[in-house]
């Protein structure tokens, strides 16, 4: 953060009137496994969520929970389930970082600033996520104007591999997810009404997943309506089903 911050060890009572709580539950050592299983932390973290949720309920916390723990879509679902907070007030960082990596890959390939790339990665923050290429635009045009299907597949793979490269290089991720969490927190407390691809409850598929939404002081203010292709809708449904299955197994 670009200003001085005090870090204080305290108890849950201090969170009673907090606007935002960021949950980073997990055991990162479990992620370093031979099978590269992204769900290796789930048994550990899913057992901790009910305890934290109960403590937040006891102190009367009514703010917004930001979840950065992996698998983030499942853990976000669990937090909403156990806290009983309104769905719009429990949010995961989702594919916010993945989308940034996709934009960087597109920017490098086509010589534009990543901030000038418009589009999203949707679905699970994991292997079933996908870039909705029908929504990606650069230089005022759909990206399909500039790239073949094969090139888009290459770019998607580059973006997907980004997180793996960082993790297996230093055995953890830090700066990227911290930046994503701060960006989301600032958008919430400043009531910016910024459009972000975060993990939020998507009613049509009855689960948490990454889908662009307008975020503000009340949490998820409104979901953006995307006109996805039939194939993209199928990918989103597949990703949703996978998340729902893991959520059900964790209850």
Which residues partner with 212 through β-bridges?
Answer: 197
Q: Which of 81, 125, 164, 193 is catalytic?
A: 125
Distances (CA, A) of 81 to 90, 178, 191, 216, 234: 10, 25, 25, 22, 26
Neighbours of 184 (CB within 10 A): 24
Closest CA to 212 of 149, 138, 118: 118
Please count the CA atoms within 13 angstroms of the CA of 75 that sit on its side-chain side. Answer: 31
CA-closest candidate to residue 123, choices 237, 209, 228, 238: 209
Is 210 in contact with 195 (CB distance < 8 Å)?
A: no
**CB neighbour list of residue 74: distance below 8 Å, 6 or more residues apart:** 42, 46, 208, 243, 246, 247, 250
Contacts of 98 (CB under 8 A, 6+ apart): 121, 125, 129, 159, 160, 162, 163, 210
Report the candidate in 209, 33, 214, 67 with the shortest Cα–Cα distance to residue 129.
209
Q: CA nearest 223: which of 244, 238, 204?
A: 204
Q: Is 125 a catalytic residue?
A: yes
The residues annotated with a catalytic role in the active site are 125
């Amino acid at each position: 953060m670009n200003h001085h911050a005090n870090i204080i060890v305290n108890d849950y009572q201090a969170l009673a009137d907090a606007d935002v709580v960021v949950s980073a539950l997990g055991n990162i050592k479990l992620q370093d496994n031979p099978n590269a299983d992204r769900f290796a932390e789930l048994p550990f973290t899913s057992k901790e969520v009910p305890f934290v949720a109960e403590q937040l309920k006891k102190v009367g916390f009514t703010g917004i929970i930001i979840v950065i723990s992996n698998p983030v879509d499942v853990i976000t679902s669990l937090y909403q389930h156990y806290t009983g907070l309104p769905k719009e007030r429990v949010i995961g960082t989702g594919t916010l970082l993945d989308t940034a990596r996709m934009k960087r890959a597109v920017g490098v390939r086509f010589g534009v600033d990543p901030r000038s790339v418009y589009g999203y990665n949707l679905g699970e923050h994991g292997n079933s996520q996908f870039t909705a290429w029908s929504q990606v635009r650069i230089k005022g045009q759909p990206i399909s104007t500039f790239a073949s299907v094969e090139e888009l597949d290459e770019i998607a793979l580059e973006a997907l591999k980004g997180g793996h490269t960082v993790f297996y290089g230093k055995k953890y991720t830090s700066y990227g997810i911290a930046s994503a969490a701060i960006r989301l927190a600032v958008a919430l407390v400043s009531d910016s009404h910024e459009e972000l691809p975060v993990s939020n409850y998507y009613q049509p598929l009855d689960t948490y997943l990454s889908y662009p939404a307008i975020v503000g002081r009340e949490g998820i203010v409104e979901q953006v309506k995307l006109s996805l292709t039939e194939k993209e809708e199928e990918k989103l449904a597949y990703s949703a089903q996978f998340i729902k299955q893991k959520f059900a197994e964790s209850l």
